[in-house]
Amino acid sequence: VSNAGVGMAGPLECQSLAAMQSLMDTNFFGLVRLVKEVLPDMKRRRGGHIVVISSIMGLQGIVFNDIYAASKFAVEGFCESLVVQALRFNVAISLVEPGPVTTDFESKLYEEAERADYSRTDPETANIFTNLYLRNSKDVFASLGQTPEDIAEHTLRVIEAARPPFRHQTNAAYTPMAALKHADPSGALMTDAFYKLVFKYDAVLRLSLR
Tell me the mean pLDDT in the region 19-44: 98
> How far, in whole angstroms, is CA 102 from its chain's centroid?
14
Structure confidence at residue 204 as a pLDDT band (50, 70, 90): low
Mean pLDDT for all residues in the chain? 90
State residue 52 phi and psi, 5-degree precision: -115, 125
Cβ neighbours, 10 Å, residue 196: 13
Residue tagged active-site, from 68, 110, 174, 201:
68
Q: Distance between CA atoms of 183 and 178, rounded to whole angstroms?
A: 9
Tell me the mean pLDDT in the region 83-100: 96
Is the dihedral angle over the CA atoms 127, 176, 71, 113 positive or is it negative? positive
Structure confidence at residue 46 as a pLDDT band (50, 70, 90): very high
The CATH superfamily label for domain 12-209 reads: NAD(P)-binding Rossmann-like Domain (3.40.50.720)
| Residue-by-residue DSSP string for 185-209 | TTSHHHHHHHHHHHHTSHHHHHHHH
Q: Using the predicted structure, report yes or no on whether residue 21 has a pLDDT greater than 60.
A: yes
pLDDT at 145: 85
> How far, in whole angstroms, is CA 166 from its chain's centroid?
16
Q: Using the predicted structure, report yes or no on whether residue 198 has a pLDDT greater than 90.
A: no
User: Residues with Cβ < 8 Å from 114, sequence gap 6 or more?
Assistant: 130, 134
Structure confidence at residue 52 as a pLDDT band (50, 70, 90): very high
pLDDT at 33: 98
Concerning whether 68 is annotated as a catalytic residue, the answer is: yes
Rg (CA), the chain: 18
Q: Using the predicted structure, report yes or no on whether residue 193 has a pLDDT greater than 70.
A: yes
Tell me the mean pLDDT in the region 39-62: 96
pLDDT at 206: 61
Domains in the chain: boundaries: 12-209
